Structures are given as structure tokens and as C-alpha cells.
Amino acid sequence: MYDGLSRAGNLEACKYSHEMVDVVCYTLMITGQGNMSGFTGTFKEETGSVCMDSNKLGIGSRDAISCLPQEVLGEILSLLPTKLAASTSLLSKKWRHVFRLVHTLDFDDIDFLQPELGKEEWPVIRESFRRFVDRTLALQRGSSINKFSLTYQVANNSDAVYMRRWICNVVERCVLEVDLRVMPGRNWAWLDPLDVDDVHGKCLLPGHLFRSKTLVKLSLGTNTNIGKLPPDVSLPALKSLSIDSIVFAYKDLCDVLLPGCPMLDELTVRHENDLNELYTYSISSQSIKKLKVYYDSKYRNDYMSFDAPSLVSLDYTDYALYKYPLANFESLLEAKLNLCYSENIKRPDITGLIIGISNVQTLHLCGGSVDVISRCVKHGLVLPVFKNLLNLSFATGNKKGWKLLPCLLKQSPQVETLIIKGNDGDTCDVTIGLLQVKVLDVLGYKGTAKEFEHLKSLLGGIVECIEKMRVEFQEYMWWWMMTLLLKPVGI
């Protein structure tokens, strides 16, 4: 929302389907004081055209939108798809000036594909897309930009040249946020020209991107090997970094990229393939406070290290590995573990990871993590004391998991809130028997008699000590379950 307008009225943009085929309408509603009150204008996207629906305009206000300040019009166009916003420059010279104020650009080569065209038309379509991006950037004549998004397949040398030129253009214009979904051909390393260094090799992306003084958020994807990073990475303003299936040269993520981001707060690393040798095995940063790691490869059978002393929140999804030699989480407050057991790793050792997160105040354990921890306890893992743990979310659907719960609570003397999730009917006779739990949530129950008996056994007669309890199950079972639950366990 535009700040200046929000004080006097309300600015909204909504997208809806039109009865006509292949027509998308964007309605701009401006309500407030003065002549703009009650105005509604509609842009229609149809083969690149733009029109105004003035049926609802009052007498004397037929061109009310043109009377708005150019800064407001720029904000309005920034809410629209870039292809549509750029087409307004055809209306008049004034609208060409307005388009220079658009601060969000989103380019996707898929937008230019037409289902009726065959593969032989692909080169023509790609050339049309390249011309569109070039013209759009030229229309803005170097004006500042907040966000630049590009989804583009680099199939040959010409594509690479265009892509790098566009990225350099927005970096020179002090861009704040860059989202790149670049999908190169298999032989991108042979494309020329690239940033080539006889010592450091090649990098698919231009070095300018990694030396931006204004960039605050950077997202890189997908399924791309970008090669060797320039050694002088310097992103002093970067706060958020997202890496989606991006492969770097050996240790470049931790040894080159992350050290060049001294203000980084959020880091997301995601990989969904079985290229074992290309995964990042170590994440080290002195500044990050929020870390999300998602790895999905059954063939990763080595190790994972974390060195993040300032980290506050950890969300880690992976197959349990042979070892975690370093898990430095001095400031960690919340951890979510989503570990899975892999047949390729017969005896995972998660000791280092569990000790590393033992200072958390909030811990979320999914069913897979509970199963992995149970296996490791069976093979000698000694659970540490979770001295600061206040909130525990525990999901399981088997007997091993239910047997682990009392052991974990015994090592967590301060737990006040317990959330139990995902009962699949595979229960056993275990009792919590701890009086420190004040809030209990039981989620995922279907209301069966077996589940009810299990819940009574689990509580072990401490219902009167719980200040708040919520049991989630089918609505029609609510009164029956609560009536039975509040009876003494022996009844």
C-alpha cells in the first residue's frame, strides 16, 4: 500500500477472471476523500492491450486516474504484472514517465509461451522475450528498483549474454531484492563470455551481483551449478539469502559467499536431488539468526556441521547422517527437527546435533525425528538435559515413540506446554506422570475407544494438575470423550 495514500483513503488491487477467454482483469479501487471517492478503473490484459472501464465513473471524473500523482500511479503499476504495466507506456508520453516509477519487475519466459505453437517456434518466442526485457529496462532509463525477478532458461551463449546484462543493469540501479530462477543447459560451462579467472575458474552469474552494496534479499534457483564464485564477494546490506538446489564449487558457500554477507539474518538452503558430491556439508555464519535447511537425498552418508553462534531459530530436514561433528548453537531458542531414517545409513549418530540443540526453549519433533532418536537411544545415545525447554511438540505413531516421550520429559524439568501429534492407533501403556505440564494439546485423535484408553494411560491420573487441555478429534465425539476423560482412570 502506498504510504501517502493510506492516510487519506484506501488503495487496493485485485485480480479476477473475466467471462471472455484469455482475459484477466485488474480492478483498482480507490476510496477516500475528494474527487477520487468511489472511483473504479479496470485494466484488461488481452494480447497486450490496456483499456479503461469507465462505466462507473461519474460526470466530470472520466479521467480521474490520470489526475492522481505520478508516485501513486507508479505504486499502482507496481502491483500489476510487468508485462501489463509496461504496456501502459503506449498510452501517452505521461504514462511512459509513470512507468519509470515502477519499482517491481518480474520477468518469466513462460509468460510468452503459447500452447498452440510448436517447438519450431521456440527461438522466435525466446527472441520476443529478450526484446521485451530489453525494452522494459530501457523505458525506465536507470530509475531505482526495489525488486527484480527473472525466470529464464539459458540454452546457449546468446541467452547467457542477455541474462548477465539484465542482472548487471538492475545491480547498477541499486536493486534491493533479486530473485533468480535460472535454468541453464547442461553445457553452460562452455558458454562464453563469462566471468573467467585463470585461478578461480568460471561463474554463471555476473560478479557484479556478488558485489552489490544495496542488495537486501537474494534468492537463487533452481537445479543450477553456478560454478566458482568470485573471491571478492561483498554484500554488506544482505539480510536474507535463499538457495534452492544451487551447486557451488567446493566450500564456496561457507568460505566465500557467507563470509561476504556480514549482516545476514536469514539463510535457507534447499536441495532435492541425489548429487551427493555436490551437497553443502557445512554451514558456518557468525550473523545468521534464522536457518532453514531442507535436504532430500538418501545417498548422503557422510556428515553435517553447523557453526552458527547467533542462531535463534533452526528448521532442519534431512536424513539422519553418520555424524554431526559440530553443532554450535549458543543462542538457539527454537528448533524444528524433521529427520528420517535411511537404509543406506544403518547406524546414524545424532549425538552432536541433539547436544547442540539442548539449550532451546521450544522444540518440535516430527514422527521421523522421534523414530530416529528412539533408534539412537537403543544404540547408546544418552539424552542430554534440556534445562531451558518450556514447549515441546512431539509427533509419533508407534510404540517406540511413545516409550521415548517419558524419557524425554524426564530430561526436560521445565516443560510447561506439551503438544502430542499424529496418533495412528499404534499405542502402548506408558504414563507421563509429570506434574510440571500445565498445558496439554492432543492432536490427530479420531475418537476411537483404543485412543481414549491410551490417553487415560498416558496421563496417569494427572488431569487435575493440568491448567488447560485441548483434545482434537471428530466434532460429534466431543462431549462423549470429555465426559469419559474427566472420570478417574480406574473407572
Q: Are residues 96 and 204 in the same domain?
A: no
pLDDT band at 340 (very low <50, low <70, confident <90, very high): very high
Q: Are residues 95 and 134 in the same domain?
A: no
Q: Are residues 126 and 215 in the same domain?
A: yes
Read off the pLDDT of residues 351-368 as tens digits, 9 standing for 90 and up: 999 999 999 999 999 999
- Given 66, 101, 136, the domain boundary residue is 101
Supply the pLDDT for residue 64.
63
Helix (H) or strand (E) holding 248: strand 240-248
Q: Is residue 377 part of a domain?
A: no
Q: Are residues 115 and 257 in the same domain?
A: yes
Supply the pLDDT for residue 37.
35
Q: Is residue 83 part of a domain?
A: yes
Higher-confidence residue of 196 and 157: namely 157
Higher-confidence residue of 233 and 122: namely 233
pLDDT band at 209 (very low <50, low <70, confident <90, very high): very high
Read off the pLDDT of residues 418-472 as tens digits, 9 standing for 90 and up: 998 866 555 566 666 656 788 888 887 776 777 777 777 777 655 667 788 887 7
Q: Is residue 23 part of a domain?
A: yes
Q: Is residue 445 part of a domain?
A: no
- Given 41, 67, 101, the domain boundary residue is 101
Q: Are residues 230 and 250 in the same domain?
A: yes
Is the pLDDT at 15 greater than 80? The verdict is no
- Given 211, 238, 264, the domain boundary residue is 264
Full residue range of the structural domain in which residue 124 is found: 103-264
Q: Is residue 480 part of a domain?
A: no
Helix (H) or strand (E) holding 252: helix 252-252
Q: Are residues 55 and 110 in the same domain?
A: no
Of 123-132, 188-197, 277-286, the poorest mean pLDDT is in 188-197
Q: Are residues 54 and 188 in the same domain?
A: no
Number of domains in the chain: 2
Supply the pLDDT for residue 185.
63
Q: Is residue 318 part of a domain?
A: no
Is the pLDDT at 282 greater than 80? The verdict is yes
Q: Are residues 192 and 113 in the same domain?
A: yes
Q: Are residues 84 and 39 in the same domain?
A: yes
DSSP state string for 164-216 = HHHHHHHHHTT-SEEEEEEEE-TTGGG-SS-EEETTTEEESS-GGGGG-SS--
Q: Are residues 256 and 141 in the same domain?
A: yes
Sequence-distant (6+) residues with CB within 8 A of 357 are 314, 327, 329, 332, 335, 337, 363
Cα angle: 214, vertex 219, 221; to 5 degrees: 145
Supply the pLDDT for residue 397.
72
Higher-confidence residue of 54 and 399: namely 399
Supply the pLDDT for residue 444.
76
Is the pLDDT at 257 greater than 90? The verdict is yes
Of 49-53, 81-85, 260-264, the poorest mean pLDDT is in 49-53
Q: Is residue 338 part of a domain?
A: no
Instruction: Name the pTM for this structure.
Output: 0.79
Q: Is residue 270 part of a domain?
A: no
Q: Are residues 27 and 11 in the same domain?
A: yes
Q: Are residues 115 and 258 in the same domain?
A: yes
